[in-house]
Amino acid sequence: MDTRFFVTWMEEITAAVRAARDHLTRLDAAIGDADHGTNLDRGFSAVAEALAARPPATPGGALVLAGSTLIRKVGGASGPLYGTAFREAGKTLGETPEVSTAELAAALEAGLAGVRRLGGAEEGDKTMVDALAPAVRALARAVHEGGTAGEALDAAAAAAEDGAKATIPLQARKGRASYLGPRSIGHEDPGAASTALILDALRTVGSR
């Protein structure tokens, strides 16, 4: 996976977020403040512009630029959290021009650690961690079992999607949905849903 791959991943996320913008905002309206779709749309549009204006030289550079742009442009909790995830992942990749599936797994694990450190959420709190953590585990397992890159990315995307759906019966313990107490039960967490979208975009790019 080269720099082009990672830039394409970001472009794929931008398109997917644009298409799902109203869906994400509706999920957020149910248990939050109805801005998740518009915020991520604004953020990833800015990422696409930044990547076009300052083409990165390495995969890590692409992720760090994407993360920094999200922190600068999105606001809310999702800006710093997604921004930190991409920055930490990018920094873990260092200067390497070609990323193996094992290196990608390590990078996403670092991204997850960054999100946990900043947001303080654990699995089961009904946040993006509920999609990201299973995806990181599935990717690591696929690498360990020696599958192809396509199989590994497929497993990660499927785990993220399952994780997002599994937030529906949970009561939120972090973020704005936690204010609702038991009334947050029965709704998919918008952050987990957008994380699943991001990993689905990774699968799409990997399958080309």
Partner 1 sequence: MKKLINDVGSVVADTLRGVAAAHPSLRVDVENRIIFRRDAPRPGKVGLVSGGGSGHEPLHGGYVGYGMLDAACPGEIFTSPVPDQIATATTGVDGGAGVLHIVKNYTGDVLNFEMAAELSGDEGVEVARVLVDDDVAVRDSLYTAGRRGTGATLFVEKIAGALAESGAPLAEVARVGREVNDRSRSFGVALTPCTTPAAGTPTFELGDAEIELGIGIHGEPGRTRAAHREAREIVRLAMDAIDDDLPLSGETLVMVNGMGGTPLMELYIVFAEVAAYLEEKGATAVRSLVGDYVTSLDMQGFSVTTCALTGDLTRLWDAPVETPALRWGR
* Sign, CA torsion 87/51/43/38: negative
- The window from 58-66, 77-85, 88-96, 103-111 that contacts partner 1 (CB under 8 A) reads 77-85
We find the least distance from the C-beta atom of residue 89 to partner 1, in angstroms, to be 18
Angle at 25 between CA 165 and CA 15, to 5 degrees: 85
Nearest residue (CB) to partner 1, 45 versus 204: 45
Nearer to partner 1, 4 or 26 (CB): 26
Token reading at 61: 């550079």
Among 13, 66, 77, 192, binds partner 1 (CB under 8 A): 77
> Is 168 or 179 the residue whose CB approaches partner 1 more closely?
179
Please classify residue 88 by burial: count the beta carbons closer than 10 Å to its beta carbon, then call 0-12 exposed, 13-18 middle and 19+ buried: buried
CA 193 to CA 23: how far, in whole Å? 10
45 is a site residue for partner 1 (CB under 8 A): no
d(C-alpha 139, C-alpha 153), whole Å: 7
- Subset of residues 20 to 39 that bind partner 1, contact rule: CB under 8 A: 25, 29-35, 38-39
Residues 185-204 interacting with partner 1 (rule: CB under 8 A): none
Nearer to partner 1, 50 or 140 (CB): 50
